Amino acid sequence: MTTTPLRKRSEIPVEHTWDTASIFPDLAAWEAEIKAVDADLAQVDAFKGHLGDSPAHLADFLDLSDALSLRLGKIYVYVSLNSSVDTTDQAWQARNGQAMGFFARARARMSFYKPEALRIGFDTIKRWTTEEPRLALYAHHFDLLEREAAHVRSDEVEELLSQMGDAFQSARRIHGILTDADLRYPPATDSAGATVELALGSMQTALQSPDRDLRKSAWRSDRDAHLAAKNTMAACLTTGVKQDVFMMRARKYGSSLEAALAPNTIPVEVFHNLIAVFKKNLPTWHRYFEARRKLLGVETLHPWDIVAPLTSAPPEVPYAKSVEWICEGMAPLGAEYVEVARAGMTSERWVDIYPNGGKRQGAFSSGLKGTKPFIMMSYNDTLFAMSTLAHELGHSMHSWYSRRAQPGIYAGYSLFVAEVASNFNQAMVRADLLKRFPERDFQIALIEEAMANFGRYFLIMPTLARFELEVHERTERGEGLSADALNKLMSDLFLETYGEAMKVAPEDVPRVGITWGQFATHMYSNFYVFQYATGISGAHALADGILAGKTGAVDNYLKFLSAGGSLHPLDALKLAGVDMTQPEPVEKAFAVLAGLVERLEALA
C-alpha cells in the first residue's frame, strides 16, 4: 500500500469546499458583526425586571432575543466551519474560542428570561397569548418552559450557569484537538514487510485494506496512539461527566439521564427499552460475525476484520456518481426534495467534499436558519463515502425543510429526531441500489456498507450508551474514575457484545477498551449516542412505509421534516407514523438487520 500525502487546505479547489462566504464575505465582516451584536445586546438590559409589565413588552423581548440568537449563531457557525477544516490553523482555533466565549457571555446576559417568565405565571402567560398576537407563536415554547419550571433557578444562578457554558466546553475541545491535531500514529507494516505511514486522514483506508497484516498493524497503531494519551483523555472525559452531574444537581434532576432527556420530554424508559432490545438481539450480531468470517476465509475473526473488504471488486463511486445515486434513491420524496438536494451537493456548495491535512475527523451537518445547511466530510470514491454523503444530506435536508417552514425559535430540532432523517436517506438509497444492481460483488459490497452503518449505530453506539450510563452513575455515587477503570469497563462491554464470535487476544483487550477515547465529540453530548440507535430504528420504519407505497407516507414524512422544533420529538415522530415510546421500532430495525445477515449468509 502506498499513501499519498494529504493536500494542504490551500490546495483544495474552491468548488470542492463549502461556501462559508455566504455567511460572512470575509473576516472583517465577521469581526464587524461581533461588535454590532455586542452593541445591540445593550437593548436586552432594558427588559430586565420588566418582562411582566405587559404582553407587548414580553413579545418585544422575545422578538429581540430570537433575532440576537440567530446573529450569535451565525458568528459561531462561520468560525466553527473554518476551524473544522484545518485544526492546525492556530488563528482559526483562537477565533473559535473567541466566538464561544462571546456566545456564552451573550447568553448569560439574557439568562434572566426564564426566572422572570416563571414569576409572571403560566396562567397569565396563557391569557396573554390570546391578547397579544405575537405571543401566540410561542405557545409551544411556553409549554416547554412550564414543564421545565421545577428546574429553573433564580436569576443569579441562571446567569452563573450560563456564564459557565464556555468553560464547560473545555474538556470536549481539548479531547477533540488532541485526537484531530496532536495524535501521532506508529507506522504500520503490510504483508510484504513494507512500512506504511499513517495519519488520521489515511487510517480508514488502511483499516479497509484487503491486506490482513496491514489491517492488524493499522488497527493496533490507531488504538496504541489513543492509549498513549489515555490519561489525558480520561481526565477530559471524567471532567465532562462531572460537569453533567453538576448540572443535573444544579437543576435538581434525579439523574444525569433524566436531565439529558427531560427537556425534550423523552421518558428514560426509551433509553432502557433500547438497551434491553439490543442485549436480546446480540445473537444477530454473532451470526453476522460468523458470516463475515466465512466470506473472509479466516479461521477466527479479530477486531481488525470488522471493516475488512468482503469482495475483491468493490465499486468505485466518484463524487458525481454518488450525487446521481442519492438523487435516484430519494426520488420517491418528489421533485422538490431531489432538486434542492442535487443543488446543495453541487452548485450551492453545501459540501466540503475532500480530505486535507488538519481536517477534523468524521462528518457532520451544520448551520442554522439564515445559512446553508453545510456538510463536512472526507470523500474517497467508495460506497462508504456515498453512504456518509447520503447520511449528512439527510440532516441537511431536515434542516432545509424545518428552517423554511418554521420561525427561528422552532427552526432547529432535537438530537432525538436528528438521526432519523440521516439514516432514512441511507435506507432509501440502499434499497434502491439493492434492487437495481443484482451482481454478486455489488450486492456484497452494498450489504457490507449497510452492516458498517448498522455496526456503528446498532452495535457501537448502544455499547457506548451502556458505558456512558455506568460512568455517569458511578460519578453520581461519588466513585473515582481512572483511565484503566474506563478501559476495563469499555472492554468488558465489548467482549460481551462480541461474544464467542470474535477473538480478542489478551494484548488487544486494552486496545478494545480505549474505544471511548475515539469519540471525542459524542461522549461529551450528554446521552446522545443511544439516539443513533433510536434514530436508525425510526428511519427504517419510515422508509419501509414509503417503499411499500403506504398511503400518505411521503406527505407525513415531509411534514415531520418541516416540523422542526415546533412539536415534542416523540410527537413529531408519531406524526410521521412511528411511536418510539414502544420497543417495536427497535425490534423491527433488528429484523431489517437480520434480513441483511441472511442475505449475506446466502451470498457466502
Task: Tell me the C-alpha distance between 351 and 499, whole Å.
Answer: 40
The answer to whether the CB of 54 falls within 8 A of the CB of 67 is no
Residue 426 Cα distances to 64, 241, 404, angstroms = 39, 32, 23
Partnered with residue 188 across adjacent β-strands are 196
Residues 6+ apart with CB under 8 A from 196: 1, 3, 187, 188, 189, 190, 206, 214, 217, 218
DSSP string, 83-141: HHT-TT-HHHHHHHHHHHHHHHHHHHHTTTHHHHHHHH-HHHHHHHHHH-HHHHTTHHH
- Grid cell for residue 151: 428546574
The answer to whether the CB of 87 falls within 8 A of the CB of 177 is yes
**Strands laid side by side in the 351-352 sheet:** 351-352, 374-376, 364-366
Task: Tell me the C-alpha distance between 291 and 112, whole Å.
Answer: 59
Helix (H) or strand (E) segment spanning residue 185:
none
- Grid cell for residue 420: 432519523
Tell me the torsion sign for CA atoms 596, 597, 601, 604.
positive
Three-class DSSP category at 373: coil
Tell me the torsion sign for CA atoms 497, 498, 500, 503.
negative
The answer to whether the CB of 411 falls within 8 A of the CB of 420 is no
Residue 501 Cα distances to 216, 291, 427, 458, 537, angstroms = 18, 10, 27, 17, 25
Q: Catalytic: 392?
A: yes
Three-class DSSP category at 548: coil
Task: Tell me the C-alpha distance between 588 and 272, whole Å.
Answer: 17
Could you tell me which of 397, 420, 411 has the C-alpha nearest to residue 580? Answer: 420
* CA 362 to chain CA centroid, nearest Å: 10
Half-sphere exposure of 279 (CA within 13 A, CB side): 10
Grid look-up 466553527 returns: 80
- Grid cell for residue 415: 438530537
* Phi and psi at residue 346, to the nearest 5°: -125, -95
Could you tell me which of 369, 425, 377, 363 has the C-alpha nearest to residue 399? Answer: 369
Q: With left for phi above 0 and alpha for psi between -120 and 50, is residue 413 left, alpha or beta?
A: beta
Q: Which residue in 392, 448, 449, 468 is the catalytic one?
A: 392
Could you tell me which of 117, 212, 227 has the C-alpha nearest to residue 179? Answer: 227
Which positions are annotated as active-site residues?
392
